[in-house]
Amino acid sequence: MMAMPAMLLGQAKYKVLIMDGQSDHTNWKQTTELVKNYLQETKLFTVDIARNTPSEGGSLDSFKPNFNNYQVVVSTYNGVALPLLSS
C-alpha cells in the first residue's frame, strides 16, 4: 500500500509554532515566512508565528508561547536567551 499524507486519510493537520524575533541575520523575517510557506504548501500543517522583538519593545519576560497547543515547534530565534527556555 502506498503511504498517504495525513490530510488525505482524514487526519487533522499538525499544528506548528515558529518562534522568532532576534537573529544575527538581517533577513530573519523573510526566513520565517519561507519556512511557514514551505510547511503550509504540504497541506499537512497549520502554522502560527510567535515573535518577540526586544528592539521593537517586546519584553522577554512576557514572551511565553503556549507550547501545549502545538505538536511541532520550529525556532529560527537566535538571540538573547529566553527565560522560558533557559531553565
Residue 47 within a domain: yes
Amino acid 11: pLDDT: 74
Residue 1 within a domain: no
Residue 29 within a domain: yes
- What average pLDDT does range 35-55 have in this prediction? 91
Residue type, 21: G
Residue with the bigger pLDDT between 27 and 34: it is 34
Amino acid 76: pLDDT: 87
Number of domains in the chain: 1
For every residue of 59-83, DSSP letters joined together read -STT----GGG-SEEEE---SSPPT
Amino acid 87: pLDDT: 43
Question: What's the domain range around 47?
Answer: 13-53+69-79
Amino acid 14: pLDDT: 96
Average pLDDT, the chain: 81
**Residue 19, SS3 per DSSP:** strand
Residue 46 within a domain: yes
